[in-house]
């Protein structure tokens, strides 16, 4: 992977006082607090997302190639609008606390919800999603962070969500199962692939 140089100042620690731009990942009473933390994506996070997703395995089911920084600049800006208008978005996932206690601040991916953004598929639905950098796979972060994000989405009054997953994406299919989602439909994507649509009542 090739880091993207940026002169942007580091983002503020997510342990600062809660605000509309810093969302601590909540936890239900019957499960431990997620190791990762969530925040509304900043402008700088466009560069972080570009860097952390710049891996062929990460992008295998997302057009198959790394996206330009401009794609993530538009995506992070759109998520800030969603959070301001709807109370939820695709949040940036920040690495868990370091071994000595302080937050590491490393961006490891995103998770959350947004209105389905395409003219095909589950139009009009609220979609949940997640994406992790390759170095952070296999640690349970996607499921735990998705559960935390669902708590936030539920609090806004959304009654159900969907997830669209490439039929070959075994890892994401496993996450939908752990979230308790039910497969309700299968769509043909514009590229000709099959995408399974899952639904979860909140």
State the Cα–Cα distance between residues 92 and 56, nearest whole angstrom: 20
For the stretch 40-91, pLDDT in tens is 999 999 999 999 999 999 999 988 889 999 999 999 999 999 999 999 999 9
Question: What's this model's pTM, rounded to 2 decimal places?
Answer: 0.80
Could you tell me the pLDDT band of residue 189, with boundaries at 50, 70 and 90?
A: confident
Domain spanning 37-201, CATH architecture: 3-Layer(aba) Sandwich (3.40)
Task: Judge contact between 162 and 125, C-beta under 8 A.
Answer: yes
Average the pLDDT over 172-193 and give the result. 95
Instruction: Say which residues have a Cβ less than 8 Å from residue 71's Cβ, sequence separation at least 6.
Output: none
What pLDDT does 65 receive? 86
Please name which of 169, 173, 141, 147 lies closest in space to residue 52, comparing C-alpha atoms. 141
> Is pLDDT of 176 > 60?
yes
What pLDDT does 32 receive? 54
Query: What are 27's strand-pairing partners?
Result: none
Task: Judge contact between 138 and 184, C-beta under 8 A.
Answer: no
> Is pLDDT of 100 > 80?
no
CA atoms within 13 A on the CB side of 166: 16
Domain ranges of the chain: 37-201
Tokens (6 digits) for 132: 């992790």
Task: Judge contact between 129 and 112, C-beta under 8 A.
Answer: yes
Tokens (6 digits) for 193: 């692939």
What pLDDT does 102 receive? 44
Of residues 172 and 102, which shows the higher confidence score? 172
Average the pLDDT over 146-151 and give the result. 97
> Is pLDDT of 121 > 60?
yes
């Amino acid at each position: 992977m090739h880091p993207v140089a940026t002169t942007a100042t580091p983002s503020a620690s997510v342990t600062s006082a809660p605000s509309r731009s810093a969302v601590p990942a909540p936890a239900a009473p019957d499960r431990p607090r997620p190791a990762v933390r969530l925040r509304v994506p900043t402008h700088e996070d466009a560069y972080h997302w570009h860097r952390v997703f710049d891996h062929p395995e990460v992008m295998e089911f997302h057009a198959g190639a790394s996206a330009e920084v401009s794609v993530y600049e538009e995506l992070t800006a759109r998520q800030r609008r969603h959070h301001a208008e709807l109370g939820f978005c695709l949040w940036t996932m920040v690495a868990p606390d370091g071994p000595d206690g302080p937050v590491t601040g490393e961006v490891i991916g995103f998770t959350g919800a947004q209105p389905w953004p395409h003219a095909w598929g589950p139009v009009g639905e609220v979609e949940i999603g997640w994406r992790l950098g390759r170095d952070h796979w296999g640690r349970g972060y996607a499921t735990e962070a998705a559960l935390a994000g669902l708590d936030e989405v539920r609090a806004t009054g959304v009654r159900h969500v969907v997830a669209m997953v490439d039929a070959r994406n075994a890892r994401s299919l496993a996450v939908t199962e752990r979230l308790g989602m039910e497969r309700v439909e299968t769509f043909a994507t514009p590229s000709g692939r099959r995408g399974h649509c899952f639904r979860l009542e909140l």
